[in-house]
Chains A and B, each alone.
Chain A
């Protein structure tokens, strides 16, 4: 575990010298800022009616954006090590494959935590301009769910990054898998019943967030879902790194 931490520390520091990470952060806050502004403006003139949904304003677009931004944050993690050959260095050091994979993932999640911390500004503002203020329980639930969701997406990213020595390939593979999980719910339209529809609905990654956490519902089965996806893809990534040795 100590090795995972060492790997994570190095990778986390790398985000702060990486132009990609800054581009991601810039895009994120630009889009979120514009949407937030728009929402604040329209709600003060009572355009849509109803109480302002600050949590939705922020996390609605935030989650969608993560679909595009996660691959950007995870694509280099293992792909670059393979391309430059530094993987040889790591795999001949006394560390286990799972430590390497977990460390990489941890770094990406930690970087996301920094971004999440900055995003709190929207809620501080939101709290100030709404009456009677925000329901902090809902905000907390939205944050927790978001972190679980992003952790799962990051695990997918680490997995695809282990498959390729090319960052672009890793980017699109992550995007494809995430998008697949995002849209799989379309196969089970509202009202359809039966075991197939149930399974498909459970696989839908967006449903677990939009139906539960963002509304302030801390759902156990959704939590299990996110954790399972994370563990599964980290496990797969570990196996891929192990199998590299056998080629």
Chain B
């Protein structure tokens, strides 16, 4: 549904995005994750036909971004980052205007429908200028849904919503994501983790990692830290643990608690458990730190120069460079 290749956009001498290649299928929710200035908005503006790329090509909803922009725009719903609206119009007036521009049949019915979907129907007659930030966000979302778009692109859709609203909007996005293609950007990793089938992390205009949230977590956690607690006597345990293959380091944090570092890509829990039990110690607890997307994100985007040096090879995310 979305398929882009080597997308590059330069603003004068500044390269905002640099040879991005990615795709998003029907029925998929793809999260676009990255720090400020990473190029998320720029990419989305290209995907929605607002501006053409400096280089590269892409197809959205089956049409070419460059040569069939009008067809693309007919099929894409877009919630821009700043949620631009006309403050002097009422919610209905505004949605009716957008529906008319999109030449939607039975406009009035459809407008009522989307207002209900985003729960703005009780404020239908309010002037947009008098709405709160979150309510405006919902109006923007309603606008993006008007024409039942095949591809929905949302630039930071959760921004400014209260937790209750976030929950509702997430449910709405999930619902839409079942049938259509959804692409959303966010800084908030928990949202991406919860919502997306696939996450693309970009920094400095390049893709630094791309995978499912779960796999991204284990990629890093694979070489992770294991916590161990035993009951009572723990003499000689450290030495026994060090002898296990794959264990890099063992630290005693309390008399009965240990932290064990294992080599990347290994899960040493089985071996450790075995060693502890056969050695006669009494195993109380054994668990592995699961890196949250947050850690991965910080890791990957910590230093933009680093990120750029490691180019767009997702595999590199395995190697801790520090």
Contacts and interface: CB of A to CB of B under 8 A. Distances in A.
Interface stretch (B99-107, B222-230, B239-247, B251-259): B99-107
Residue picked from A7, A90, A92, A94, most chain B C-beta under 10 Å:
A92
A60 to B, nearest CB: 35
B11 A92 contact: no
B42 to A, nearest CB: 12
B131 interface: no
Given A17-B88, A247-B11, A93 B50 contact: no
A87 B52 CA distance: 15
The DSSP consensus for interface residues of chain A is helix
B50 A88 contact: yes
B49 interface: yes
Contacts of B80: 85, 88-89, 92
Contacts of A91: 49-50
B103 A245 contact: no
Nearest to B75: A94
A96 B76 CA distance: 16
Given A2-B103, A88-B80, A94 B45 contact: no
A93 B102 contact: yes
Interface in B150-179: none
Given A92-B48, A94-B74, A247-B11, A84 B98 contact: no
Contacts of B48: 92
B58 to A, nearest CB: 15
B70 A96 contact: yes
Interface string B278-316: 000000000000000000000000000000000000000
Interface string A91-104: 11111100000000
Interface in A72-88: 84-88
A94 B52 contact: no
A17 to B, nearest CB: 6
Contact of B102 (A94, A96, A245, A247): A94
Interface string B42-65: 000100111110000000000000
B1 to A, nearest CB: 17
B88 A94 contact: no
Contact of A6 (B11, B76, B101): B101
Given A92-B73, A93-B73, A96-B70, A246 B51 contact: yes
A88 B153 CA distance: 13
A96 B74 CA distance: 12
Nearest to A87: B84
Residue picked from B74, B103, B143, most chain A C-beta under 10 Å:
B103
B32 interface: no
B70 A94 contact: yes
B131 to A, nearest CB: 15
Contacts of B49: 91-92
A14 B102 contact: no
Contacts of B78: 89, 92
Interface string B71-99: 10110101010101110110000000110
B84 A92 contact: no
A85 B85 CA distance: 8
Contact of A88 (B45, B70, B74): B45
Contacts of B70: 94, 96
B50 A85 contact: no
Interface string B125-159: 00000000000000000010000000000000000
Contacts of B89: 10
Given A94-B74, A246-B51, A89 B102 contact: no
Contacts of B98: 89, 93
B15 to A, nearest CB: 15
Contacts of B71: 94
Contact of A85 (B51, B74, B84, B100): B84
Contacts of B97: 6, 10
Contacts of B102: 93-94
Given A85-B84, A245-B51, 18 more contacts: A10-B86, A84-B84, A86-B84, A86-B86, A87-B84, A88-B84, A89-B78, A89-B85, A90-B101, A92-B50, A92-B76, A92-B80, A93-B73, A94-B74, A95-B101, A96-B70, A246-B51, A247-B51
- Complex A-B, nearest 3 residue pairs according to Cβ-Cβ distance, in ascending order: A85-B84, A86-B84, A94-B74
Interface of A: 2-3, 6-7, 10, 14, 17, 84-96, 245-247
10 contacts: A6-B101, A14-B88, A86-B86, A88-B80, A88-B84, A89-B85, A89-B143, A93-B73, A94-B73, A246-B51
